[in-house]
């Protein structure tokens, strides 16, 4: 499923996430899987993932960046 991490677009349904890939070949790999509920919004702020729940609660789950394609794939960012 494609998720838009602009901080404004809400998720349309319940989603279990373990990593998020960007269009430029990077991935944010969460330390533990995370459920995103319908209505949650996600964004990357200062190279970290931020989840804003429909209630307004803000979460910043732990994780690391890596590359998924190209030279040096699977290296940390």
Distance CA 74, CA 52 (A): 28
77: confidence class by pLDDT, cuts 50, 70, 90: low
Reply yes or no on whether the pLDDT at 70 is more than 90.
Answer: no
**How big, in percent rounded to 5, are the helix, strand and coil portions of the chain?**
0, 55, 45
Quote the pTM value.
0.78
Per-residue model confidence (pLDDT) at position 76? 54
Distance CA 70, CA 53 (A): 34
Distance CA 1, CA 14 (A): 11
Distance CA 77, CA 67 (A): 7
Per-residue model confidence (pLDDT) at position 40? 96
């Amino acid at each position: 499923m494609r998720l838009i991490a602009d901080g404004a677009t809400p998720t349309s349904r319940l989603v279990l996430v373990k990593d998020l890939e960007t269009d430029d070949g990077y991935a944010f790999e969460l330390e533990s899987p995370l459920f995103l509920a319908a209505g949650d919004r996600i964004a990357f702020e200062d190279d970290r993932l931020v989840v804003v729940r429909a209630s307004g609660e803000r979460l910043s789950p732990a994780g690391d960046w890596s590359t998924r394609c190209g030279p040096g794939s699977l290296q940390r960012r």
